[in-house]
Amino acid sequence: MRIEDFDLALSPLPGAAPVWHGDVDAAAWRQVCQQVHDKGGRLVALWGSDRRELRRGFVVHAALVIRSGLVWLTLSADHEAYPGIDDIFPVASRMQRALGDLLGIYPHNPQDARPWLRHSAWPADQYPLRKDFDGSTVHPATAQDYPFVTVEGDGVHEIAVGPVHAGTIEPGHFRFSVIGEKILRLEPRLGYTHKGVEKLFEAMTLESGARLAGRISGDSTVAYAWAYAMAAESAVDRTPPERALWLRALLLERERLANHLGDLGALGNDAGLAFGLAQFSCLKEDLLRSNAALFGHRYLMDSIVPGGVISDLDESGGARLMAELDVLDQAVSRLHNIYDDHAGLQDRFIGAGRVAPELAVGLGLCGLAGRASAQAWDLRAQFPAVPYDRLDVQMATHRNGDVAARVTVRFDEVNEAIRLCRLILKGLPSGAIFTALPKAPDNAIGVGWVEGWRGEVFVALETGADNRIRRLHPHDPSWQNWPLIEHAVMGNIVPDFPLINKSFNLSYSGHDL
């Protein structure tokens, strides 16, 4: 479906991402969502803002992806309510619940009306993202019982795990209903790492917000920093120098490499092959050390700012990276061969945690995990911004949707990222790496949309006066993919949960905000 197919007034936004924005009424809101859904489009994000200062009351937004790009709809939420879209896009359910917790606007007929991000830190009748909520006020903890869905029957029992987990991972609670070792149902409860990120942005300027954007999800700092910068650049209608954009892509691909290498090692380890972890973690460490030597930070935090990047790459640095890519390429190819040949490893990978393509499309699985279940979406290939429009990115996909497929997609994406890094290093244009941005106009909007290693990172920005942020919503692909883990583990045994969970490797911090 293309943008011309809508019977709506939509205006294109300036900037690197192909985005159209339009205000809609309640009827058009649901109609457009239904149209997009029926034509195979997806919901990227649902969020809201308090525009009472602008006499617009509360509004709810949706970002939908179609073949032409991204459509951003805004609907007035009269009487603090709006027509929900969780019946059209099941993935909207938790976003609607979070919107209720944070802004106090609710869908008319929600399929699930439980709180999501609010546990005990603020009372049910207070809403952090309302402008009259003071973000520094500490409310007394409220007691709260969260009604998990229970499974009953002979021999069924529950295992409660978390929020403090056995390994070094982020906190969340998992409620398993099991019979023997077999998982009948998994219900996660997230929100433990909610630290008021969106409220913090509202006290910041476009400049100062970049640092926070890079800390929404530490493993995706480049993706978030780029999406944030892209949104700011879109709001002020400026394009950074070309060299800066090429360097950003180099950083993004290096972030993809670091995370995929780490995951490939950890997946080997979770299936009992410690050799894999030792080998891949060395490759990752080598990459991180070069990041520190050439860009000043192991994970590349704060390397991207609105207007460009902060550190340039000289010729010797480029040559060093090129030489290291050759070593990495060879090592990965040897390890890929070993993984493929290892019967014990493949026995654990194949068939574990399967998400069939039909389920993936129905529930909106996206990003890396989506591509492993035949959901062929990759912004770098479909909506290529500079420099990806010059690189002919080859999307990696698989149909099986199991742990093995997610491993294969990671290997393919490592190989592709190595190819892209080489092309970027060869084609890096000369020139400046930063251009100062003008002050943002009041009440402007902007969008950033970047294919991070986990999936698409989306940032929607509304500016206020004096270059300040009035509202910023960062959206992590984990919102889409957490519900699919619940399906992926059904019928598997509890001891395979860590392996299946790792094969998705979703973010808690990026989701809880």
In the bound state with other proteins, the residue whose beta carbon lies nearer, of 2 and 131, is 131
Q: Which strand ranges, in their side-by-side order, compose the sheet holding 445-451?
A: 445-451, 456-463, 469-475
- Interface region with other proteins, contact rule CB under 8 A, candidates 19-27, 107-115, 194-202, 423-431: 194-202
Single out the residue of 7, 152, 341, 466 in contact with other proteins (rule: CB under 8 A).
Answer: 341
Single out the residue of 86, 202, 219, 456 in contact with other proteins (rule: CB under 8 A).
Answer: 219
N- to C-terminal Cα separation, the chain: 32
Distance CA 404, CA 401 (A): 8
Residue 347's SS3 state is helix
Q: Under the criterion CB under 8 A, does residue 114 sit at the interface with other proteins?
A: no
Instruction: Name residues whose C-beta falls within 8 Å of residue 105's C-beta, 6 or more positions apart in sequence.
Output: 48, 58, 60, 77, 80, 81, 82, 99
Pattern 152-191, other proteins, x by CB under 8 A: -----------xx-xxxxxx-------------------x
What is the smallest separation between the CB atom of 35 and other proteins, expressed in angstroms? 37
- Name which of residues 406 to 445 contact other proteins (CB under 8 A): none
- Interface region with other proteins, contact rule CB under 8 A, candidates 83-91, 249-257, 281-289, 472-480: 281-289
Query: Is the distance from CB of 9 to CB of 21 less than 8 angstroms?
Result: no
Phi, psi of 58 (to 5 degrees): -95, 145
In the bound state with other proteins, the residue whose beta carbon lies nearer, of 109 and 337, is 337
Q: Under the criterion CB under 8 A, does residue 37 sit at the interface with other proteins?
A: no
In the bound state with other proteins, the residue whose beta carbon lies nearer, of 298 and 422, is 298
Q: Under the criterion CB under 8 A, does residue 472 sit at the interface with other proteins?
A: no
Per residue, the 3-state secondary structure of 314-342, as one string, reads: CHHHHHHHHHHHHHHHHHHHHHHHHHHHC
Pattern 283-302, other proteins, x by CB under 8 A: -xx--x---------xx-x-
Distance CA 298, CA 68 (A): 36
- Quick one: tokens of 245? 């954009």
Angle at the Cα of 58 from the Cα atoms of 53 and 64, rounded to 5 degrees: 125
**Residue 418, CA distances (Å) to 88, 128, 243, 448, 504 in order:** 39, 43, 19, 25, 22
- Quick one: tokens of 354? 């399967």
- Name which of residues 124 to 153 contact other proteins (CB under 8 A): 128, 133-139, 141
Q: Under the criterion CB under 8 A, does residue 199 sit at the interface with other proteins?
A: yes
Query: Is the distance from CB of 439 to CB of 418 less than 8 angstroms?
Result: no
- Quick one: tokens of 112? 């699930």
What is the smallest separation between the CB atom of 459 and other proteins, expressed in angstroms? 16
Single out the residue of 338, 361, 395, 425 in contact with other proteins (rule: CB under 8 A).
Answer: 338
Q: Under the criterion CB under 8 A, does residue 193 sit at the interface with other proteins?
A: yes
* Residues binding other proteins (CB under 8 A): 119-122, 128, 133-139, 141, 163-164, 166-171, 191-197, 199-200, 211-212, 215-219, 221, 262, 275, 277-279, 281-282, 284-285, 288, 298-299, 301, 334-335, 337-338, 341, 507-509, 512
